Structures are given as structure tokens and as C-alpha cells.
Chains A and B, each alone.
Chain A
């Protein structure tokens, strides 16, 4: 029962981390390597807003999400727009942006900036307390993760299938040329996708981070997790990402319970390698021109 519940929580954590990445990749074919960095950045921003500027929790979260979305748009408009179509440069540039943010957060001694190093950066949970579900002790934050995660996935599904902007994003993902002929601006779509993706990274951070403390190193871990989920599910595949996060989430929890925490990462890499050998396009990826990518 423990495994079932914590596995679900872990899977939803993975799904939350991965949706932003897969949304951006699905629409603009840009691998946003700054995803993990934005995740951590939102964590630290929220912490600073609460503790340094003494802003109300909800307001702090909203502010940092807006900043994250703006940053996503800026990254696209300033850097990535000039590199569209050059896969190598896109990877290198977005990876560089990610390193600037992550290592910048750890930078010390410039202008009295102490750097975000150490164990004191903890976001408060939304609601304190714990409860028992079928005999398993679980805190409210983890319940919020389950609820919030499902809500976000559902809302995104509605957004991409039933709103005009969402539909235009899917159109770009399916056939960029045809979408251009119908008057959908692909750059604008990419900016929107990148902002939403960055905000989703931030949202995931705000929901997940109260479970532990905020560290800059988590950025690399989040990036790797997001990418692992996307590779296993098929890059850019929507249902695949959710399926893969459940497969991975349970695999990680089960291996931790059976062999210890060391093997969690081994399972991650092992799963990636296995998938790459057996089905290089991922569980649900089809590698076709016309397919549902968002």
C-alpha cells in the first residue's frame, strides 16, 4: 500500500516536471534545457519574496510564476529565435542559459550576494498536517501534489483541445507550414509555448519543493527527470509522457523499497537505455509527420 501511494505521488511529481518540457518540445521542437533551471529559480524567487520582501505566500508564488513565464519568453525572443532549425545551436544555447541561471544562483561574493547554498531554503507547505489513508500516513502536501498534478494535466488537456490558442499550438506542432498558411504565427506560438512551459516548470516547483529544501543542484536532477520521462514516453507525445511518468515513478519507488535509494538512478538510466534499444521513438512516440504531439 505504501508503494502504491508513494508511487502515485512520485509519478505525478515526474509528470508535473515533464509536462512543461514536452509542451515546449511538442510545439516548437526546441529542447528547453533551461527547464530545470527555471524550476529552481522559481523556488528561490518564491523563497526570497516570502522571506526578504515579506510578501504573502500566494502573491509571492504568482509573482515568481509571472517572472518565470516572462523569462521563458525572453529566452525565446532574444536567443532561441535566431537559432531555429539548428539543432546543435539550440541545445548548446539553452543549456548555456540553464547553466547561467543555476551557477549564477550559487555565485558568491558579488555585490554582497551570498549565493543560494546551504540547507536553509525551505518553502512552507500549503497546509500543515498529515492524515491516514488506508493505513498509510501521508502529509497534506503530497495530497496536494496528487490533486494539483491531476488538475494541471486535465487543464492543459482542455487548453490544448478546446481553446483557440491551444488549438493553434497543436496546429503548429502538427504541420507548421499549413498552420502558417492559416494565419497562425509560429514565432508567437513558440513564445506562448515557452512561457507556458516555463510557468509550468515554476508551478511544479511551487507544488513539489515544500517536500524538501531548495538547492541549485536540483536543477540538473529535474532536467534529467523531465528528459527521461520524455524519452521513455516519446519526445513530444502527450499521453506518452503521462504513461512514462507512471512507469518510471513506480519503478523508482519499487526499486528504492527493494534495494535502497542508490538504485533509483540506475533504474532511470537503465529504463532509458532499454527503451532506446527496444523502441527508439519511445512508448507512444510514432515519429511521423502528422501525429498528435501536444
Chain B
């Protein structure tokens, strides 16, 4: 009599080669192990606009902005060690430049947005440049001051529309362009950053995070690399800002609002720091939730912060890292 024996086998056992992120694939089934999660994410993002109604399509656009900011925050915090509490600076810089180009020079949004993305990133990088010699807390503190300071200057000098802001900017052609512009941008920057952090520059950046003196001792200028990293992050943030001002056809000091600094951080902690995908998902969970609470005013901010503390205290790895681990550890019965 033949006894049929089975044993439990982990999904990734056969294909993972010694370390994480190196795989030996020989069948379609093993390929699917890697391809399916990525396709689900891309297709999910691309198909979302088709199933939502008009109102939630707008929410999706806003969520996209937060997602891209959260991605920028995650890149800076988890891979470079710069905790930037002032994400609103990027939004404000991009939004104001794009809006002003449109209002004063009359350029179309699709021209303003790329210009504002670049120019805003250059300006934000220059603003943050003196603080790049700092680490950890110092940088967090100083970056936190800049958005507040920018609001102060705009109100005090009464430039760029002052407290009122400028309304009636040109908006993007239609809702489909709006949605696919931001979704496309999220997907592109997500995979670009993933590629980037695994290149040599990513290695140096992580080195800077872990031990900057060692990196300096290797003859690498850490300030130069931090500048590059901040530039990349502010490109993403400024794109979000420029897009935002043309989404609502309006610019004002609320582009520097606390929401743009705190929600991406909450999304990042919730989704899982360092996973890059997590923050995006976190933003897509948190933004609709905050939209549902719109009537409650400041309760929204309190709620994000409670979620943030809850995750940071009780589940510090975040949703995405948790799911990823579970996915790799998934076991099935195999006949011996």
C-alpha cells in the first residue's frame, strides 16, 4: 500500500535565491508569483476611474496627490534618513509657480505643470539646501518651519493674491485627463523610485541613512547625494502641487496647509515605511476616509493622528510590509 505523503511548502522557497529580491524562475507559475501582485496594483489603479462615479473620481484625484507626496516622504525618510515634516512646501512651490504662470502669462496647464514641476523642485531644493547638513531631528524641525514661513511671507507682503489667492485658473481639459495624468504619474514614479533605490545611488543613500560618517570616509560627498535625493522627492511633490492648482483652478495659502504635511506621513506609517507601495495604498485608504469626515472639520486631523499613533505603536511595520511577509510565507500542501 502506498501511503500518500504530503508536506507543507512555502510559496517562495523554491525560487528565492539566498537573499531577498533575487529569484530563479523557471516556470510560468513561478513567474506569476512575482508578476501577479504588480499587475493587480497597476490594473487596479488604472481601472479605478472606470468604476467610480463623478464625485469619487474627484476624490481619486486628490488621493493621487497625497499618494505621490507620501511616496516622496517615504523615499526621503526610509532611504535617505531625512524626515521632512514640511511636505506642504513642495505642494505650495509647485502650485504657486504653475498657477502664477497660468494667471499672469496665460500659458496652458499642460505646459505650466512640467515647468512648475522643474522650477518648483529647483526652488524647494535651494530652500532646503542649508539644512541638508543636518540629520534626523534637526532636519525635521527646520523643514517643518518652511511652509508656515512661506504663508507668513505671502500674507505679510500681500503678493501672489495674498490671503485670498487667485481663482479662475485654467483647469485640465476633462476628468479623464485629470485622473489618468495623476495615476500614470504615480505608477511611473513608483516604479522609477523602486528601480532607483536598488541602483548604486540607492545604496549610497541608504548608507547615508545608516552611517553618514562612514560614507564620508569613503570619499563620497553626502551633501551632493542628499541634494539629489531631495530634488527627486521635490519633483514628485511639486508635480502634485502644480496638478492640484489646475485641478481646482485655484491657488492660495491653503496650498501650504498642514494637511499636505501630515496626511502623507500618516499614509506612510499606515502603509509601511520603506515599502514604497505601502504609502500609495495608505493614501488611497486615508483620503476617502477623510473625505467621508469632511463635515467634522478638525476631527479629520485628529483622526489621522490617532491612526498614525496607533500604527506606530501597535503595528510599526505597517500594512504593506505585513501583507508582503504573509504573501511570501504563504504555504501550500505539496505531494512528496
Q: Which residues of A contact B (CB under 8 A)?
A: 31, 78-79, 82-83, 87-89, 91-93, 95-97, 99-100, 103-104, 106-110, 115, 220, 224, 227-228, 231, 235, 262, 265-266, 269, 272-273, 276-277, 280
How many angstroms from the CA of A220 to the CA of B313 in the assembled complex?
Answer: 24
- Which residues of chain B are near A103, meaning CB under 8 Å? 298, 301-302, 305
Q: Identify A91's interface contact among B136, B297, B306, CB under 8 A.
A: B136
Q: A96-B308, A103-B298, A262-B156 given as contacts; is B316 within 8 A of A89 (CB)?
A: yes
| CB-based contact A276/B298 at 8 Å | no
Q: A93-B309, A110-B296, A231-B138 given as contacts; is B301 within 8 A of A276 (CB)?
A: no
| CB-based contact B305/A100 at 8 Å | yes
Q: B330 interface residue, CB < 8 Å from A?
A: no
Q: B172 interface residue, CB < 8 Å from A?
A: no
Q: A92-B269, A107-B299 given as contacts; is B142 within 8 A of A276 (CB)?
A: yes
Q: Identify B312's interface contact among A93, A220, A224, A272, CB under 8 A.
A: A93
Which of A93, A103, A104, A108 has the most CB atoms of chain B within a 10 A radius of its CB? A103
| CB-based contact B296/A92 at 8 Å | no
Q: B193 interface residue, CB < 8 Å from A?
A: no
| CB-based contact A231/B141 at 8 Å | yes
Binding-face segment, B145-153, B159-167, B248-256: B145-153
Q: A82-B313, A91-B85, A92-B312 given as contacts; is B298 within 8 A of A265 (CB)?
A: no
How many angstroms from the CA of A280 to the CA of B137 in the assembled complex?
Answer: 13
Q: Identify A31's interface contact among B130, B137, B156, B305, CB under 8 A.
A: B137
Q: B217 interface residue, CB < 8 Å from A?
A: no
Q: B131 interface residue, CB < 8 Å from A?
A: yes
How many angstroms from the CA of A235 to the CA of B145 in the assembled complex?
Answer: 17
Q: B77 interface residue, CB < 8 Å from A?
A: yes
- Which residues of chain B are near A93, meaning CB under 8 Å? 308-309, 312-313
How many angstroms from the CA of A109 to the CA of B299 in the assembled complex?
Answer: 10
| CB-based contact B302/A100 at 8 Å | yes
Which residue on chain B has the smallest CB distance to residue A227? B141
Given pairs A93-B308, A103-B305, 14 additional interface contacts (CB within 8 A): A79-B313, A88-B77, A89-B316, A91-B83, A91-B140, A93-B312, A95-B140, A100-B305, A103-B298, A109-B297, A110-B299, A224-B145, A276-B134, A276-B138
Q: Identify A108's interface contact among B83, B145, B297, CB under 8 A.
A: B297
- Which residues of chain B are near A265, meaning CB under 8 Å? 149, 152
Measured CB to CB, the closest approach of chain B to A234, in angstroms, equals 11
Closest 8 CB pairs of A and B: A262-B156, A96-B305, A103-B301, A87-B136, A103-B298, A107-B298, A31-B137, A100-B305
| CB-based contact A235/B138 at 8 Å | yes
Which residue on chain B has the smallest CB distance to residue A92? B265
| CB-based contact A79/B136 at 8 Å | no
Q: B177 interface residue, CB < 8 Å from A?
A: no
Which of B296, B298, B306 has the most CB atoms of chain A within a 10 A radius of its CB? B298
Q: A91-B83, A93-B313 given as contacts; is B152 within 8 A of A107 (CB)?
A: no
Which residue on chain B has the smallest CB distance to residue A230? B141
Which of A79, A107, A235 has the most CB atoms of chain B within a 10 A radius of its CB? A107
- Which residues of chain B are near A231, meaning CB under 8 Å? 138, 141-142
| CB-based contact B305/A97 at 8 Å | yes
Q: A91-B136, A262-B156 given as contacts; is B301 within 8 A of A99 (CB)?
A: yes
Contact with A along B248-290 (1 / 0, CB 8 A): 0000000000100010011001000100000000000000000
- Which residues of chain B are near A276, meaning CB under 8 Å? 130-131, 133-134, 138, 142
